[in-house]
Amino acid sequence: MRMSMTQTELVLDARNTVGESPVWSVAEQALYWVDIPARTLHRWSLASQTVSTWQAPEMLGCVAAVTPGRWIAGAESGVFELQLGKDGHLGFTRLASVKHPAPGMRFNDGRCDRQGRFLAGTMLMNMASSAGEGSVYSYQNSSNGADQLVQLLTGFKTPNGMAFSPDGRTMYLSDSHPSVQMVWAFDYDPDSGTPSRRRVFVDMHLVPGRPDGAAVDADGCYWICGNDAGLVHRFTPEGKLDMSLAVPVKKPAMCAFGGPNLDTLFVTSIRPEGIDLADQPLAGGLFALRPGVRGLPEPEFSPVPSPLPSC
């Protein structure tokens, strides 16, 4: 493993309480991300260096692009379509409700698979009380008009770190709860959208930081934020730690490749209320790293030709 001396650039002193789900729009050359407790969606434009913000009626855990101005989101009570209007107006249309097994739950980390299905995990917001209520769901709007929210996996405390290999046949998933701290790999069937053959990919007890949000680069390597350690780690497809990049905050939350050549690694972060900011005044900021590798365009949500199997 090598510790890179890549320079970290502060893109925005965003002061997000929980900055998550960064998604680079190639068409707009802009980065979108959410601040979960603030119920906001943000957009940073590379060309103008300006930020736009939309306020949602529920907490947004994760987002994925649909078409320009339209997004899909995992929120508190279900999956929603977001329509981004002018002057901060946000259209908020329910696509599917979720039946949480306990009160006080919401969607957390998620993204689209390579075929355009939207996958996201749920968690109990009071992490200290979590007993594995979290699940991973898949939402698709099939070409025959059937909307489906299907429960794929169960038994998680804080599902996180979802990502897909470049060929879409491997799905990565972590549980960032302090009592778990594991990353798994699954075989993923791109035709049916189902994961199988779960196995340990990385035991994060052996690596600094709890596993948080993740991305995959063009070489198929898996990048994951080491929350509490101020690091972003790169693992090879074999699960070997290859590189760690430092950021000037303790709680990097999620990373995403972007920029004109997809060679910039954007990192969102967390600014918990009541923490001592003396040694990390930029907590909650948005950062950019130059890791020396390129990423992949993020898939957009789109109808897929065949419905998912029932549980």
User: Among all residues, which ones are annotated catalytic?
Assistant: 212
> Both tokens of residue 111?
């993204």
CA 121 and chain centroid, separation = 10
The label of the residue with tokens 């950019």 reads: 288
In the three-class reduction of DSSP (H, G, I as helix; E, B as strand; rest coil), residue 224 is classed as strand
Buried b (16+ CB within 10 A) or exposed e, 252-280: bbbbbbbbeebbbbbbbbbbeeeeeeeeb
Q: Is 282 in contact with 249 (CB distance < 8 Å)?
A: yes
> Both tokens of residue 77?
């009570």
Q: Is 68 in contact with 28 (CB distance < 8 Å)?
A: yes
Q: Which residues contact 204 (CB under 8 A, 6 or more apart)?
A: 174, 181, 182, 183, 210, 211, 226
Q: Which amino acid is at 231?
A: L
Find residue 110's DSSP bridge partners.
120
In the three-class reduction of DSSP (H, G, I as helix; E, B as strand; rest coil), residue 118 is classed as strand
> Both tokens of residue 281?
């005044």
Q: Is 170 in contact with 186 (CB distance < 8 Å)?
A: yes
